[in-house]
Amino acid sequence: MIYLDNNATTRVAPEVFEAMQPYLTDFFGNPSSAHTLGRTMKQAVEQAREHVAKLIGADDMSEITFTSCGSESDNWAIRAALASQPGKKHIVTTRVEHEAVRNVCRQLETEGYEVTSLDVNASGELNLDALRDALRADTALVSVMLANNETGVLFPINDIGEIVRERSDALFHVDGVQAVGKIPIDLMNVDLFALSGHKLHAPQGIGALYIRKGVSLPSFIIGGAQEHGRRAGTSAVPNIVGLGAACKLAHEDDDHSRIRALRDRLENGILQQIPNTRVNGHPENRLPNTSNISFEYIEGQNILLHLDQLGICVSTGSACHSTTHESSPTLHAMNIPYTAAQGSIRFSLGRYNTDEDIETTLSVLPGIIEKLAAMSPYDQELHANT
């Protein structure tokens, strides 16, 4: 198998698995228990918290709260930020957010909130003047992603946070799920920051929310006093240890220049060998591992299936759209023409990809596209007109 779908999820790193193993066998206690076993578990949780804090540059490890996933972190951040400012009913976000933010905002509209969704340009970038204009005295929250899951395009969260502070007293939430472990994180102007373990070689089912010191949020899950009373529920110690180990690994062993070189080799090879291809998203201002390429006039789903038959895993836009034929909202917001958006494939690389993976993919893709192009009604129309 050649796995080029690392923005969907990642393989658990051997170092992470090794760190978790004792907590799935001998160390099975509850970290809230007062006995030695419980205290050992608690120590492991706190060590993991330290690794997470270090990777994202939090000032203090108490600013990290463990959750079950990125979606929970995003939901909690948004709902709790609004609950803590009951008089304010305005939210600013963007048109290209992940469903974990977009669908919450959509629901909030039905609950009486006004949501301003900022546009992006053809490269997927935000217009900061539009952000300035959108901020109001009753803006409770600004919620934007750091890295787009489909195109990898990065939003300048430092500048955005500065504008939010200058122009309003809204809280600033960043969905950092796709960025953590791939690029350095700067939390200087950020109040709330969501991350998810399974995007950086920790297991599925663990996430975290950074809550800046001084920001007080109501709990999302009510119950016991775990996580300093911020998030009830017995801690998922093996997963928490896994997230800590993954953060440590990402901090100590950053091989993103290698991954970027592989991504560029793949991308340039495709653009050179295959006609009617284009990269969606800003060529430089994006994650080093992501390449979203449109194979115009060809159905992306068909490309995915042909690659899958050869053991090559990719996705069409966001994995969440893989069962529908709607164009992805992100590509739609970028004004990518329908025939190109439908033919978009997201290649997302990771630490276990090799030169050979890229060469193999480049050796089979032109043949697949040639075959599908011959069957494409658009392509036949194109040739009939030339």
Told to check if 177 binds ligand PLP by CB under 6 A, we report yes
Cβ atoms of 199 and 181 within 8 Å: the answer is yes
- Positions marked active-site: 320
Query: Of 197-216, which residues contact ligand PLP (CB under 6 A)?
Result: 198, 207
Q: Does 145 bind ligand PLP (CB under 6 A)?
A: yes
| Under rule CB under 6 A, residue 329 binds ligand PLP | no
Q: Are 219 and 85 in contact (CB under 8 A)?
A: no
Question: Do the Cβ atoms of 136 and 128 come closer than 8 Å?
Answer: no
Q: Per CB under 6 A, which region of 105-113, 175-183, 234-242, 363-371 contacts ligand PLP?
A: 175-183
Q: Which of residues 81-110 bind ligand PLP (CB under 6 A)?
A: 98, 100
DSSP 3-state of 71: helix
Contact 286, 151 (CB under 8 A): yes
Among 5, 63, 125, 175, the residue binding ligand PLP under the rule CB under 6 A is 175
Torsion angle in degrees (nearest 10) through CA of 293, 92, 214, 160: 60
Footprint on residues 14-73 left by ligand PLP (CB under 6 A):
69-71
- The answer to whether the CB of 245 falls within 8 A of the CB of 326 is no
- CB of residue 268 vs ligand PLP: minimum separation in angstroms? 25
Q: How far is the CB of 177 from ligand PLP (least distance, A)?
A: 4
Toward ligand PLP, which CB reaches closer, 208 or 368? 208
Shortest distance in whole angstroms from residue 202 CB to ligand PLP? 10
Q: How far is the CB of 25 from ligand PLP (least distance, A)?
A: 26
Positions in 222-281 near ligand PLP (CB under 6 A):
none
HEC profile of 233-300: CCCCHHHHHHHHHHHHHHHHCCCHHHHHHHHHHHHHHHHHHCCCEEEECCCCCECCCEEEEEECCCCH
Cα(238)–Cα(28) distance, rounded to whole angstroms? 9
Give the pair of three-digit tokens for residue 85.
């400012």
- Smallest gap from Cβ 62 to ligand PLP, in A, equals 22
Out of 75, 116, 143, 149, the residue judged to bind ligand PLP by CB under 6 A: 149
Residue 88 or 98 with smaller CB distance to ligand PLP? 98
Contacts 24+ apart (CB under 8 A), 28-31: 30/234, 31/226, 31/234, 31/235, 31/237
Contact positions vs ligand PLP (CB under 6 A): 69-71, 74, 98, 100, 145, 149, 175, 177-178, 196, 198, 207
